[in-house]
Amino acid sequence: MTTRLPRDLHPVAWWLWAIGMATAASLTTNPFVLLLLVAAATVVVVARRSDQPWARSFRLYVGMAVVIVVVRVAFRVVFGGGYAGTVVLDLPAVPLPGWAAGITLLGPVTRESLLAGLYDGLRLGTIVVCVGAANALANPKRLLRSVPPALYEIGTALVVAVTVLPQFADSARRVRAAQSLRAGETGRVAGMRRFLVPVLEDALERSLALAAGMDARGYGRSAGLTPARRRVTGALMLTGLGGICVGVYAVLDRTAPRYLALPMLVVGVAAAVVGLISAGRRVERSRYRPDSWRWPELVVAGAGIVTGLLGWWVSRHQVPLAFPDLSTFPQISALSLLGVVIAVAGGLCAPPPPSSYVVAVPLRQEVAA
Amino acid sequence: MIELRDIRFAYDGATVLDGVDLTVEEGELVLVSGPTGVGKSTLLGIVSGLVPRFSGGRLEGDVLLDGVSVVGRPPRERAHAVGYVGQDPAAGFVTDTVEEELAYGMEQLGLPPETMRRRVEETLDLLGIADLRHRDLRTLSGGQQQRVAIGSVLTMHPRLLVLDEPTSALDPTAAEDVLATLTRLVHDLGVSVLLAEHRLERVVPFVDRMCLMTGDGTVRVGDPGELLAASPVVPPIVELGRAAGWHPLPLSVRDARRRARGLGERLAPPPVPEEQPSTDGLEAQGLTVVHGATVALRDVDVRLPAHRVTALMGRNGSGKSSLLWALQGSGRRRSGQVRVGALDPSRLDAAGRRGLVGLVPQSAADLLYLETVGEECAAADGGTGACREILDRLVPGVPDDHHPRDLSEGQRLALALALVLSARPDVLLLDEPTRGLDYAAKRVLAGILRDLAADAHAVLVATHDVEFVALAADDVVVLADGEVVSSGPVRRVVAESPAFAPQVTKVLGAPWLRVDEVVAALDAS
């Protein structure tokens, strides 16, 4: 059972799990199913998150979800006049000028319009909570580190961007404090300049220092790559990109010639894949302690996918249960319930996170004693 | 193993290096020294390959690594042999935990996972940072960051380590830790080290050879004892040796102490510092500052009398900056009170605060935002010319049309100081002003602070530099973990805590602080 000892689960597994739940949420407006999905995500996050900084972000996402629901319902009250159904609050309609025809301000608020807003908001809020759960459970940087070798440069650029952002906030705070220590223009434009110039100079200097540091530590070493190989890789990537663009356009635009659609898309994807492999071969780097993919990863990712599939099946074959009528009390499908149970059970199959990243110093002292 | 041959480097037409020859042998610790702006960082950059690639400029000559020319190759192609750690180690961190940072360079070299695993563990032990392995890099103290940065290049098993001012931002104890680590690497692993450092007093005892940059683009390489005899920048101990006529010059405190036997008796009685009547200044009582869950300051009482310079010392992260910002009134305090005369600066608006208490922050560049020195001065005093006048008094001859970023460290600090002083504050606070200043610039700064104190200002300067404290300060406050552990006149505090003692005190004993005192006493006797 060593696979269940405390460790970090592969980030891709958490993201698949969360995306599965988000898919299920996007395919229903049933408030009970949505609330159950939120509860499932919350239970797993509470049980399996580590004590690293990003793990605390879950609360932020829940807050965002609540705001979304509130805003949706509020919009229904303000602009939702003229919705047929049982009136619960009879507000006077505000007459609007002719150019705003089609929009009603206030007016009688019906139960149906409120419920529609609530269900819709809940759906969006649940998706946000699922994304938040993935963020809290898997270090976003570790996720970026698992990109294929050919996309290594892009992955690094993203990692650097993620790193630089908090530093940017840091330097903004520092400069704002420092600028209050001296006199100078206080106008809007001049004040902006006072603040922006040092912050941007700082950011530029930091980026240069980081680039220099990365280069000095061997980033981007090209081990004996010939210019010809580089050109071939470049050509393959460009062809692939062009093919995919044209193909996707032709697939979506029904009037385009058919030979441009699927064949072009297939050729584009094939060229891109070959290009990626060719580019990946030149990257001569290895990975320190790569995240392993074992059975808990499979179970977690599988649970998410099954939940998503069940949600899709219900939305296709049990439409009244997936999208309940606004005038009746919503019923819940047994399959949706099963999906939620699978999501929770799968999520809890993950090993617990390493207890604490701050290594126990007292332990060492005990050993010494 | 690495050899520079007839290196010439020019930047924007100005020659920085002119025919430099330097060889670093296996297992050697070579110090690059010289006044500020003489091109120390440039020289190190040429060895690591970052100059001219990341700086611009024109480079001629040849760099040989084991007899093979590498001058045209980018830094990444030398990474396996030359490890470079820059001035601010935190700026070069790529990943976010200690362990990943140590592995990053090896990943780039494509080493097999077992090798990486083994080397990370070895390096963690070698540098004594095993208990930090999972820590977020941004939560580390300055000394820890420096050691992680050294470790992150060591894992690649380079044969030459290039370090740009590895101890300049560190408190005395952390600096000694880092230097001890370096000597251990040189002795045990045979790594060669090339380092630039302003504070010679810290590194000279450990150095095998010295490369002195004279300022005209050439260098003199040789034994530190011989070179320091004529060097324009010398640690206090060498100055003392020169004054006392010792030959050869002592390089470590231990050497000097042996030589100084008998010198103490020859000296006239030590000067008795006259106690100035302490008039009003700034008084703070029961200051408590909290950042989130951490207590930065706990119930701190500080008194800054006018006419006196007080130094604020303590290790990195002991709450020095928090104290300065709380005294200035911009930083939020949890409890306690600050009084300047009858006023509390935190109850005033920004303009009122800076008229009462001036603060020069750690990165003085944060204050500057305009294109020329003249514009900066005009913006600060509203065109009355008062700021320019102060600047001329501090450091004469700073051209009006220069961009503030083009000034030397010392000139830029003086400009920031002038901007702050143009609001005519009674109390002046400075946060780590000596970073990157050479001995001459520090002496100028010390003179400026003494003049301000004579001019009825109360001055508080936070610094790690014990020699600067000996030069500039009357009183010392030592902070640890947010509390005041000792405070009082410099002579007493320094005598009580050997870690904060300047070299002269270490050599001659308690009352003596500065070389000029000893020289005066020698003349008198």
Q: Residues near A262 by Cβ (< 8 Å), separated by ≥ 6?
A: A247, A251
Residue B271 covered by a domain: no
Rounded Cα distance between B438 and B199, Å, is 8
- Average pLDDT (B256-274) is 75
Domain identity same for B195 and B322: no
Q: Does residue B518 sit within a domain?
A: no
Q: Which of B212, B229, B246 is the last residue of a domain?
A: B229
Domain count, chain B: 2
Cβ–Cβ of B107/A288 closer than 8 Å? yes
B172 close to B466: Cβ distance less than 8 angstroms: yes
B30 and B112, same domain (yes or no): yes
Q: Identify whether residues B16 and B149 lie together within a single domain.
A: yes
Q: Where are the beta strands (DSSP E) in B255-334?
A: 281-291, 294-305, 309-313
**Chain B positions in Cβ-Cβ contact with residue A358 (cut-off 8 Å):** 134-135
Residue range B469-512, pLDDT digits in tens: 999 999 999 999 899 999 989 888 887 888 788 988 888 887 88
pLDDT, tens digit (0-9, with 9 covering 90-100), for B355-400 = 899 999 988 888 888 888 888 888 888 878 888 888 888 888 888 8
Do B16 and B153 belong together in one domain?
A: yes
Residue A361: which pLDDT band, with cuts at 50, 70 and 90?
very low
- Measured N-to-C along each axis, helices A188-216 and A152-179 cross at an angle, to the nearest 10 degrees, of 140
- Which of A213, A223, A364 shows the shortest C-beta gap to B91? A213
More confident residue, A262 or A48: A48
Cβ contact, residue pair A183, B381, below 8 Å: yes
How far apart are the CA of B131 and the nearest CA of chain A, in angstroms? 6
Note whether residue B267 is domain-resident. no
The pLDDT tens digits for B142-151 are 778 888 999 9
Which pLDDT belongs to residue A363? 36
Q: Is residue B21 part of a domain?
A: yes
What is the three-class DSSP state of A187?
Answer: coil
What integer pLDDT is reported at residue A366 of this predicted model?
Answer: 36
Would you say residue B308 lies in a domain?
yes
Residue A163 pLDDT class (50, 70, 90 cuts): low
Q: Return mean pLDDT, chain A.
A: 81
Strands B82-85 and B160-164: parallel
Q: How far is CA A301 from the centre of its chain?
A: 16
For residue A368, pLDDT over 60 is answered with no
For an interface test with A, the pick among B44, B73, B85, B96 (most A C-beta atoms closer than 10 Å) comes out as B96
B475-480 vs B483-489, strand pairing mode: antiparallel
**Lookup: tokens for A326:** 């606004």
Q: Does the beta-carbon distance from B116 to A286 stay under 8 Å?
A: yes
Which pLDDT belongs to residue A150?
Answer: 67
Q: How far apart are the first and last CA of chain B?
A: 52
Q: How would DSSP label each residue in B156-208? A: T--SEEEEESTTTTS-HHHHHHHHHHHHHIIIII--EEEEE-S-HHHHGGG-S
Interface contact flag, B330 A183, Cβ < 8 Å = no
Q: Shortest CB distance from A288 goes to which of B96, B103, B361?
A: B103
For residue A362, give the chain B residue with the closest CA: B131
A153 against B54, higher pLDDT: B54
Closest-CA distance, B120 to chain A, in angstroms, reads 10
Mean of pLDDT values over A197-213: 84
Residue B293's domain comprises 281-511
Average model confidence (pLDDT) across chain B: 87
- Classify residue B184 as exposed, middle or buried by CB count within 10 Å of its CB (0-12, 13-18, 19+): middle
Say how many C-beta atoms besides its own lie within 10 A of residue B162's C-beta: 28
Are residue B188 and residue B107 in the same domain, yes or no?
yes
CA separation for the pair B340, B429 (Å, rounded): 13
Which pLDDT band holds residue A369 (cuts at 50, 70, 90)? very low
Residue B292 shares a structural domain with residue B207:
no
What local confidence, expressed as pLDDT, does residue A53 receive?
A: 67
Q: Chain A contacts of B50, Cβ < 8 Å? A: 212, 215-216
The whole-angstrom separation of Cα B112 and Cα B106 is 9
- The answer to whether the Cβ–Cβ distance between B86 and A53 falls below 8 Å is no
pLDDT tens-digit readout, B203-235:
888 899 999 988 888 899 999 888 888 888 888
Given B169, B200, B229, the domain boundary residue is: B229
Q: Kindly state the tokens that stand for B433.
A: 């002003």
Secondary structure percentages of chain B, helix, strand, coil, to 5? 40, 25, 35
> CA B194 → CA B66, B264, B374, distances in Å?
16, 37, 40
Q: Residue B117 and residue A220: Cβ atoms within 8 Å?
A: no
Q: Are residues B11 and B156 in the same domain?
A: yes
Tell me the CA distances in angstroms from A151 to A146, A237, A275, one per residue in order: 10, 12, 11
Does some domain include residue B473? yes
Tens digits of per-residue pLDDT, B153-202? 989 999 999 999 888 778 888 888 888 888 888 988 889 999 998 888 88
Q: Is the pLDDT of residue A359 over 60?
A: no
Q: B461 or B266: whose pLDDT is higher? A: B461
pLDDT (mean) for A201-228: 78
What would you report as the CA-atom Rg of chain B, rounded to the nearest whole angstrom? Answer: 24
Q: Which of A176, A288, A291 to mutate to test the interface with B (most CBs of B within 10 A)?
A: A288
User: B196 and B88, same structural domain?
Assistant: yes
From the list A182, A206, A354, which residue is nearest B367 (CB)? A182
CB contact under 8 A, A215 and B53: yes
Contacts of B104 in chain A (CB under 8 A): 217, 288
* Minimum distance, in Å, between the CA of residue A211 and any CA atom of chain B: 8
**Confidence (pLDDT) at B436:** 78
Residues in contact with B55: Cβ distance below 8 Å, sequence separation at least 6, in sequence order: B11, B42, B45
pLDDT value, residue B517: 85
Reported confidence tier of residue A310, pLDDT bands at 50, 70, 90: very high
Task: State which residue of chain A sits closest to B73, comparing Cα positions.
Answer: A221
A209 with B92: Cβ contact below 8 A: yes
Burial class of B210 by CB neighbour count within 10 A (0 to 12, 13 to 18, 19+):
buried
Please give, rounded to a whole number of angstroms, the shortest distance from the CA of B47 to a CA of chain A: 11
Higher-scoring residue by pLDDT: A340, B90: A340
Distance CA B221, CA B7 (A): 14
- Of A57-66, A108-117, A218-227, the poorest mean pLDDT is in A218-227
Q: What is the pLDDT of residue B24?
A: 93
Q: Are strands B427-431 and B357-360 parallel, antiparallel or unpaired?
A: parallel
Contact B363 A178 (CB under 8 A): yes
Query: CB–CB of B314/B297 below 8 Å?
Result: no
In angstroms, rounded to a whole number, what is the distance separating the alpha carbons of residues B46 and B325?
40
- How confident is the model over A27-83, as pLDDT tens digits? 998 999 999 999 999 999 998 887 776 777 888 899 999 999 999 998 888 876 666
pLDDT of amino acid A102: 67
pLDDT surpasses 60 at B285: yes
Q: Calculate what percentage of chain A has a pLDDT beyond 70.
A: 86
Q: Tell me the nearest-neighbour CA distance from B137 into chain A, angstroms.
A: 11
* Contact at CB, B380 and A182, closer than 8 angstroms: yes
Q: Please report whether residue B265 resides in a domain.
A: no
**B77 chain-A contacts, CB cut-off 8 A:** 221
Question: What are the distances in angstroms from CA B123 to CA A308, B135, B139, B153, B197?
Answer: 46, 16, 20, 10, 24
Q: DSSP letter for B97, please.
A: B
How many residues in chain A? 369
Residue B270 placed within a domain: no
pLDDT of residue B144: 86
Q: How far is A223 from chain B (nearest CA, A)?
A: 9
How many angstroms away from the CA of B354 is the closest CA of chain A? 6
Give domain limits for chain A: 2-144+291-368, 150-216, 227-282
Neighbours of A226 (CB within 10 A): 10
Instruction: List the single range of A56-65, A233-242, A273-282 with lowest mean pLDDT.
Output: A273-282
Whether residues B499 and B355 share a domain: the answer is yes
In this complex, do A194 and B109 lie within 8 Å of one another by their Cβ atoms? no
Identify the residue among A207, A217, A285, A289 best suited for mutation to test binding to B, counting B beta carbons within 10 A and taking the highest: A217
Note the pLDDT of residue A356.
52
Task: Choose the mutation target among B162, B325, B366, B430 for the interface with A, i.e. most A CBs under 10 Å.
Answer: B366
Chain A neighbors of B93, CB-CB under 8 A: 163, 213
**Chain A CB contacts of B330 below 8 Å:** 177, 180-181
Same domain, B54 and B182: yes
What is the tens place of the pLDDT at every residue in B103-141?
989 988 888 989 999 999 999 988 888 888 888 887 788
Task: Say which of A193, A218, A364 has its CB closest to residue B109.
Answer: A218
The confidence score (pLDDT) of residue B477 equals 93
Q: Hey, are the CB atoms on A182 and B419 less than 8 Å from each other?
A: yes
pLDDT at A355 over 70: no
Query: Chain A residue with minimal CA distance to B112?
Result: A286
Pairing of strands B14-24, B2-11: antiparallel
